[in-house]
Structure 1
Amino acid sequence: MAIPQRERITFLVLLADVLAPWADAVTAFAVIEGFAVLNVIPVEPARGALTIGCRYSRHGAWWLYHVHSGELIGPANDLAGAARLISNQMKVAAAA
């Protein structure tokens, strides 16, 4: 089964757009093991960065996930929900 890679990129670009208005983080694209990922980097303090990927599930949908832990964030078509979770996780990491 061929998985269209342009959809992965589209979801990550749209997530970066949703996160863009937040002054407390910047985003940058990278490639890990041949797949595009989105790095979400806090401006201050300089820790708690997250690397977000997008993968196709067996159930026929794209999901956002934490690249390093494999933990799912949520369906890629709920960008606002994913952005809230990412923001909250960064706040928790900054407070630690």
Structure 2
Amino acid sequence: MKMLAVTRERTLRAREIIAAQTLSWENVELKIRHAAGAGAVEVMIQPDVPTNIRDTAAGQSMFGKLRRYGFGVRWERLGLTAGHMEWFALVIDWRER
């Protein structure tokens, strides 16, 4: 039983680490600048590995921060892993409304 609990905790920690790296302000700002510089009005940010970053502290924090800055923000479901875990990308847009 202890191994199961430890494995679940390790998974949650890994998701938080992946989300914190993927959604660091430096990474998000760089991706927005590159997309805007290429004439785009939105950018999709996703982890390098299929994992659920939406339901993490980093995911919720960045979502809220971008909304406060006036960006349009939504989570887009990218698919399911073989183990039926959903994974998402953060989509940020700056269209005129």
Tell me the TM-score normalised to structure 1 length.
0.35
Structure number having the greater helix percentage = 2
As a proportion of its length, which structure holds more strand?
1
Q: Which has the higher contact order (CA 8 A, sep 6+)?
A: 2
Q: TM-score, normalised by structure 2?
A: 0.35
Larger C-alpha radius of gyration, 1 or 2?
2
